[in-house]
Structure 1
Amino acid sequence: MTKRIIRPTRPVRRTGSLKGLLFFFLLGILLFVLLRDKPQTILSPASPYIAELYRDGKVIQEEEFDSFDEAKTFLNERRGAVKRTSDDRYLYLTGSGIGIVDAGQTLNIYADRSLKKRQTYVAPGSRLSLLAYTESVSRIEIAGLTGYVASDRLTLYPIEQSSHQSYYEKQGDRLLHYIVADAGLGGLITAGQAPASLPERTTKYVESKTLTKDLRQATDLTAKQLDAYIRKNAPDSPLIGTGKTFKQVERDFKINAAYLLAHAIHESNYGRSEIAQDKFNLFGVNATDIAPGKNATAYTSFEDSIRKTGRFIARDYLAEDGKYYRGAFLGNKARGMNVFYASDPYWSEKIAGILVKMDAV
């Protein structure tokens, strides 16, 4: 019988334990790197209000505040403004600036701080020059008029933060006006015949000579010349052939036919506007800012519109005892037809520009 001898084997080396130690060592280093204190990378939220200080037309200092009153106090009547950080809307100004009439209703302008004596009104989107601002009432200027308005109807901008401003400039004998405004009221227009002494460019209000022309005086243009102007500028206009009607109304009611045609062209786009097509309304009569198409007066024909509106304007706007008489000329927001006829502050200038192009000044 053979005996089996069992010899002892070499012990197995446990290499896995060393790998484990190395793994946990490296893991520890990684966690240390990830979890150690780091500079904060998320910015803390901005304070609700920012006060800006200005000097020489530039921002020289900005400070954040948790309350509106604190921001106002910081200004301490120094030239500056307070804005809300949530929407960047300016809520307070010291000194002058710009006020944009908020959307919605027209804005009344008054002769007194108590807002009792109404002078005129302007359309939403109009830009007023703020001469002096308070949180309740502001003193403003627009289109030749200085008056007072309710401050809560305005969107405020400091001059220092306004990159574009309206200006006038002279081009030959024509006065051009670059109007900065909202709601379709802006653009570059011919504003009438330029005054001889006008500087090359100015942001101050300029009154064209055309705005003071007496609209009770007949034009030298004939019915054929009026029709020729329409045909040249709008060959598809349904107003071609109405020259005789304009001249007849001129004779009957003592109202300038060229002005009346220019008025119709501006308001109705040569008789092609929706209101003109639907209601034969050429002059925007009762076409309010809120619902122009719905409220506009309807007529039976273009001739009916020309005749009835000519009589209405001659009686209520040009006659000295008229309900809306402020001078028998186009004027501006201080005097003339534009005081009460239209909410667009520069409605009169746009008509005056057409008269210049007609050579009817």
Structure 2
Amino acid sequence: MNDVNRLKQFIATMLVATFLVIQLAIPQKASADELTGKALEKEMRAMIEAGVLTGYTDGTYKPAEKVTRAQFAAFISRALELPEGSASFTDVSSNMTLAPFIYKVTSAGIMGGYSDNTFKPDQNITREQMMLAMQNVLTYSEMALTEKRIDFTDMDAFGGSVSIKAAFIAANYDITSGFPNADGTVSFQPKADTTREQAAAFIYRFLEAKKNYVPPVVEEPGEPEPPLPPPVVKKYKVATVQNNQLVNGSTEYETYDKALAAYNANTSYDAITFGVDIIKTRSGAIAYGNATTTTGIPSTTTVYFDQDFAKQATYIEYGREMRYYDSNDKFIKVQVGATIGYVKHSQTELKPAEMIQPLERDRYSKTIFGSLAHTTYNHAREKIAGTYINGPAPDFMQSGATYYSYDGIHFMNDRGTNVGAHVPYFQYLSIRALSSYSAEEIDAYIVRKVQEKFPDTWQASKLIGIGATLKKMETEQRVNALMILSLGINESNWGMSKYAQKCNNLFGLYVNDTFVGECPAKGNFPTIEDGVRELVISFFNTRYSDPTNSQVPARNMGAAFGNKTTGFNVNYASDPTWGAKAAGHLYTFDQELGGKDFRQYKKIAFTNLNNQSINVRTAPTTASNILFTYRARNVGAYKDNPPVSYAEGYPLTIVEEKAVDGYTWYKVYSDWYVNETSAQYGWIRGDLLSIVEYP
């Protein structure tokens, strides 16, 4: 090759190299297929257009890929246009591609290294670490570090209060809001690695907040303002109930302990108060939820397993009744369902026993037809919430008498004496126990009932003609068609509710207690069948009935309607009687059409171990394979009082039993659903169960 040809080849090579460098330097357009339809598509595209995020050599942007510390250093350096910096880390060499960005964020005080003088550039950055970095970004941008508290359900997963505070500061600027749970609560997933699209969203929202940020006004000194009246200082007092009113004593106590000493010294006192709030009262009292949002909208009261409010047990509807056990100035100990837990004073009201009127509380009775009727009372609104039939009344109940129960299973008379236990069949029957009724029978029943209830507008009901869809879901997903229908009746007022009519949402999906819009974003369905499919697949078969689902294990409390200790009711609805009401609709349907499904199975069971996992096996022997494992969990207030009481663990429907290896083994419906050909049954040892027998 002569010199001229060599020169031509060299020039061509340099032109190609230069072209490639230019191409890599220019922010690329993201692939439409890659980002279109993503929840964070807008934020991702905006950051790509701004050059904050650059693509890979294959033209992709990989929105779901994890972000390393070095990559985030590059993102935030570009977003803030940080000046050059310097730093010295043993694992960052100056010839590394992203080293200049690491030096920039270090000099700016946005990110730092570790105690061993490393930066760990290739380590993924968690969401918790991202919040700490974003707090430093706000500080660098001279923006006020104002907090907006969000009660994340996984608060105990944070590394400490510093990172929790950083998340609250980010929330104040709408940089983050967490992940919505199906029950209306919010989680944060602090230990999860941050994805590229999440990082793009955090930075995009920060830039929007920065653009609209108005620094706090610092007023110039002027004429002195007139002095404000002294604040009202709350003091502890002891109080008595007189003529159904709480009357405070005249003595004020500086501390709760001093008031408690006076209260304990004189049994005539009925309560300790702090301002207008009752802090402590005697046994026999009632607690009820009175939480509201910052705008005054009634909200739910969270019940925690621990006194520090770190681990959520369940939650309860505004105004609904809880059993009062004890309290101090930090917490209130209550019972919801069979679960004993702790609630905050700020979300709960106490009603001393002397102020409780017989007709102003939840109560049960036996109707003249032999049914179990439950009348519920809303204490915050001071009115009866409604009455429903749950099934047949137990034999120990007498017509005309009043009974009380906090879990709908263990009952007391009006003197507070335990009189018996009764497990409503349909409330704890597995959703895998399929119905005997056809689509035609279901449709005929619905038409008749909605004509009775809505004679002029019955044809508008969204339940009309739903029978084929319900039986299709029963066949494909192995979920009882009547249970789906019963829930739809309960949640949508026979298909006539606003959400049913406008959103094809029969089940209140993605509608929490404080939602006030027309249709929730994820709960607006093209057809009724789409809404039914979402309930069955996403909620029943994934969130609430899959014991193998490691992403949402706390949702799985058993594959039955249940109550606030076991079953769907724990996490699906704030109404503590939601499961009982749905079961009541199923019972009514079955009785009116011949009773083909009621007590088809003669035994239902609850797992009875606390704080120990339980295996369900493929055959009745410990040598067989494990089908799935029930995680250890609280089984409620009655676990230690057999045989007259039931431990309300996971509910199971028994279809067969065998004696093997010295144990009685029970064949049960499998909670776990994979597809229509997957295992329908599993086996569990009898000594792990409390058995409920039906005649």
Instruction: Provide the rounded CA distance (Å) in 1 between the counterparts of 2:462 and 2:283.
Output: 51
1:75 corresponds to which of 246, 263, 271: 263
* Structure 2 counterparts to residues 175-194 of structure 1, below 5 A: 175-181=372-378, 182=380, 186-194=385-393
2:313 corresponds in structure 1 to 119
Cross-structure match for 1:166: 362
Corresponding residue number in structure 2 for 1:306: 532
Check the 8 A contact 1:215/1:255 in 2, yes or no.
yes
| Cα-Cα RMSD | 2.9
- Identical aligned residues as a percent: 27
The TM-score, its normalising length taken from structure 1, stands at 0.77
Asked whether 1:136 is paired with 2:330, we answer yes
Distance 1:52 1:107 in 2: 26
Closer/same/farther in 2, CA of residues 241 and 192 from structure 1, 3 Å limit: same
Tell me the alpha carbon deviations over residues 274-319 of structure 1, each in whole angstroms, 9 at most, x when there is no partner. Answer: 1112211111111011115453611001121112222221232223
How far apart are 1:193 and its partner, in Å?
3.8
Give matches, 1:86-101, under 5 Å: 90-101=278-289
Quick check: 1:273 aligned with 2:497? yes
Aligned to 1:334: 565
What per-residue deviation string (whole Å, max 9, x for no partner) do you get for residues 243-285 of structure 1?
0110101110000000100111111112211111221111111
**AA partner of residue 314 (structure 1):** N
Q: Is the 8 A contact 2:375 2:384 kept in 1?
A: no
- Answering whether residue 432 of structure 2 is matched by residue 216 of structure 1, we say yes
Question: C-alpha displacement at 1:330, in angstroms?
Answer: 0.8
What does residue 45 of structure 1 align with?
none
Look up the match of 2:118: none
For 1:175 and 1:145, the matched residues in 2 are separated by: 23
Which consecutive segments of 4 or more residues in structure 1 shift more than 6 A? none
Worse-matched range after superposition: 250-259 or 187-196: 187-196
Q: Residues 4-19 of structure 1: matches in 2 within 5 Å?
A: none
- Asked if the contact 1:249–1:310 (Cα under 8 Å) also holds between the matched residues in 2, the reply is yes
| Paired residue type of 2:393 | A
Distance 2:405 2:533 in 1: 38
Residue identity matched to 2:570: V
> How many Å separate the matches in 2 of 1:325 and 1:91?
34
Cα offset, 1:72, TM superposition: 5.2
Given that 2:327 and 2:333 are in contact with CA atoms closer than 8 Å, whether structure 1 keeps it comes out as yes
Contact 1:280 1:300 in 2 (8 A): yes
- For the 8 Å contact 2:301–2:318, the answer to whether it is kept is yes
CA offset digits 1:145-186 (Å, max 9, x no partner): 221111232122101111122111223442211111246882
Structure 2: which amino acid aligns with 1:265?
A: I
Is the contact made by 1:286 and 1:295 (CA closer than 8 Å) also made in structure 2?
yes
SS state at 1:180 partner: strand
Which moved further from structure 2: 262-271 or 205-214?
Answer: 205-214
Counterpart secondary structure, 1:277: helix
Equivalent residue number for residue 16 of structure 1: none
Other-structure match for 2:513: 289
The correspondence for 2:588, drawn from 352, 357, 361, is 357
SS at 1:201 equivalent: coil
Distance 1:243 1:161, change over 3 A: same
Confirm or deny: 8 A CA contact 1:326 1:336 kept in the other structure.
yes
Q: Does 1:232 align with 2:448?
A: yes
Larger deviation: 273-282 or 146-155? 146-155
Higher strand share: 1
Q: Which one has more relative contact order, counting CA pairs under 8 Å at least 6 apart? A: 1
Partner Cα separation in structure 1 for residue 441 and residue 312 of structure 2: 41
Structure 1 residues 326 and 91 mapped into 2: Cα distance closer, same or farther (>3 Å)?
A: closer
Query: Over residues 163-217 of structure 1, what are the superposed CA-to-partner deviations in whole Å (9 max), with x where a residue is unaligned?
Result: 1221112234422111112468822111234334445431123332321111111
Give the TM-score, by structure 2 length.
0.41
Aligned residues of 1:81 and 1:158 also touching (Cα < 8 A): yes
CA distance in 2, matches of 1:226, 1:330: 20
Q: CA, structure 1 residues 197+212, in 2 after alignment: closer, same or farther (shift >3 Å)?
A: farther
CA–CA distance in structure 2, aligned partners of residues 281 and 307 of structure 1: 11
**Residue 146 (1) aligns with residue 340 (2):** yes
